[in-house]
Amino acid sequence: MYLPATTGGWKKKLRRVTEKDCSPSGFLLVFGPLVFIGRKERMSHIQLGGIDYAIMAIYVAAILGIGWTLARYMKTSSDFLTSARSIPTWVTGLAFISANLGALELVGMAASGAKYGIATSHFYWVGAIPAMIFLAVFMMPFYYGSKARSVPEYLKMRFDERVRALNSVAFAVMTIFASGISMNALAKLLNQLLGWNYHMALWICSGVVLLYVLKGGLTSAIYTEVLQFFMIVLGFAPVVYLGLKDVGGWHAMNQSLQTVATNPAALNLKEGSTHYAANAWTSAWQPLLAGPQNNPMGVDWFAMVFGLGFVLSFGYWCTNFLVVQRAMAAKNMTAARNTPLVAAVPKMLFPFLVIVPGMIAVALTSMPDKDYRIPPPIVSQENYTKAVEVVKKANPSESAAAVTAVAEALGVKVSGEKVAALVADNAKTKLSDEKIQNGIYNSIAEYDYDGVILSLVKKYCPPGLLGLALTALLASFMSGMAGNVTAFNTVWTYDLYQAYFAKDKSDKHYFWAGKVTTVVGILLSIGAAYFAAMYNNAMDIIQLVFGFVNAPLFATFLLGMFWKRTTGTGAFLGLFGGIGGSAVFHALTTTSSNVDAAGHVINGMKGGYLAVVSQFPSEMAQNFWLAAFAFIACFVLTLGISLVTRRTKTDDELKGLVYSLTPKVVDHAQAWYARPAFLGCVLLVGCVILNIIFW
Give the model confidence (pLDDT) of 146-173 as tens digits.
Answer: 777 778 888 888 898 899 898 888 888 8
Average pLDDT over residues 665-677: 76
Angstrom distance (rounded) from CA 286 to CA 693: 12
Give the CB-side neighbour count of residue 39, counting CA atoms within 13 A.
18
Crossing angle of helices 356-365/250-262, nearest 10°?
60
Residue 461 per-residue DSSP state: P
648 pLDDT tier (thresholds 50, 70, 90): confident
Asked whether residue 238 carries a pLDDT value surpassing 50, the answer given is: yes
Cα 623-629-630 angle, rounded to 5 deg = 90
CATH superfamily of 50-368+453-693: Sodium/glucose cotransporter (1.20.1730.10)
Cα 594-597-601 angle, rounded to 5 deg = 35
Average pLDDT over residues 608-626: 83
Asked whether residue 250 carries a pLDDT value surpassing 90, the answer given is: yes
Q: Average the pLDDT over each of 39-43, 105-109, 250-254, 346-350 and give the range with the smallest value.
A: 39-43
329 phi/psi in degrees, rounded to 5 = -85, -5
Tens of pLDDT, residue by residue over 50-66, are 888 898 889 888 888 88
Q: b/e string for 197-231 if b means 16 or more Cβ within 10 A?
A: ebbebbbebbebbbbbbbbbbbbbbbbbbbbbbeb
Extract the runs of DSSP E, i.e. beta strands, from 233-296.
Answer: none
Asked whether residue 603 carries a pLDDT value surpassing 80, the answer given is: no
361 phi/psi in degrees, rounded to 5 = -60, -40
290 pLDDT tier (thresholds 50, 70, 90): confident
Do 8 and 409 meet the contact criterion of CB atoms below 8 Å apart? no
Do 353 and 236 meet the contact criterion of CB atoms below 8 Å apart? yes
> Which of 110-124, 182-196, 389-403 is predicted most confidently?
110-124
- CA-wise closest residue to 357 among 626, 15, 563, 111: 111
- H/E stretch holding 591 reads strand 589-591
Average pLDDT over residues 270-297: 84
Cα 533-534-537 angle, rounded to 5 deg = 80
543 pLDDT tier (thresholds 50, 70, 90): low
CA quadruple 426, 431, 433, 437: dihedral, nearest 10: -60
Looking at the chain, the whole-number percentage of residues with pLDDT higher than 70 is 91
360 pLDDT tier (thresholds 50, 70, 90): very high
Indicate the residue type of 260. Answer: V
Of the two residues 18 and 593, the one the predictor is more confident about is: 593
Tens of pLDDT, residue by residue over 406-436, are 888 888 888 888 888 888 888 888 888 888 8
Q: Where are the domains of the chain?
A: 7-44+380-443, 50-368+453-693
Question: Which residues have CB under 8 Å from 377's CB, separation 6+?
Answer: 412, 444, 446, 447, 448, 536
Provide the CA 554 distance to its chain's centre, in angstroms.
19
Can you give the pLDDT at residue 68? 85
Can you give the pLDDT at residue 45? 65
Angstrom distance (rounded) from CA 499 to CA 482: 24
635 pLDDT tier (thresholds 50, 70, 90): very high
Statement: the pTM of the whole predicted model exceeds 0.85: no
Residue 25 per-residue DSSP state: T
- CA-wise closest residue to 188 among 106, 116, 259, 267: 106
438 pLDDT tier (thresholds 50, 70, 90): confident
Can you give the pLDDT at residue 32? 31
Q: How much is the CA Rg of the chain, to the nearest whole Å?
A: 25
Residue 313 per-residue DSSP state: H
Asked whether residue 443 carries a pLDDT value surpassing 70, the answer given is: yes
Do 184 and 504 meet the contact criterion of CB atoms below 8 Å apart? no
1 pLDDT tier (thresholds 50, 70, 90): very low
Angstrom distance (rounded) from CA 325 to CA 302: 31
Do 56 and 467 meet the contact criterion of CB atoms below 8 Å apart? yes
Q: What is the DSSP string of 76-144?
A: SHHHHHHGGG-B-HHHHHHHHHHTT-STIIIIIHHHHHHHHGGGGGHHHHTTTHHHHHHIIIIIHHHHH
CA distances from 661 to 139, 272, 394, 439 (A): 14, 59, 77, 70
Q: Kindly give the pairing relationship between strand 26-31 and strand 614-616.
A: unpaired
Looking at the chain, the whole-number percentage of residues with pLDDT higher than 90 is 14
Asked whether residue 495 carries a pLDDT value surpassing 80, the answer given is: yes
Angstrom distance (rounded) from CA 620 to CA 296: 10
Can you give the pLDDT at residue 48? 77
Angstrom distance (rounded) from CA 303 to CA 309: 9
Can you give the pLDDT at residue 535? 63
683 phi/psi in degrees, rounded to 5 = -65, -40
Cα 59-30-402 angle, rounded to 5 deg = 140
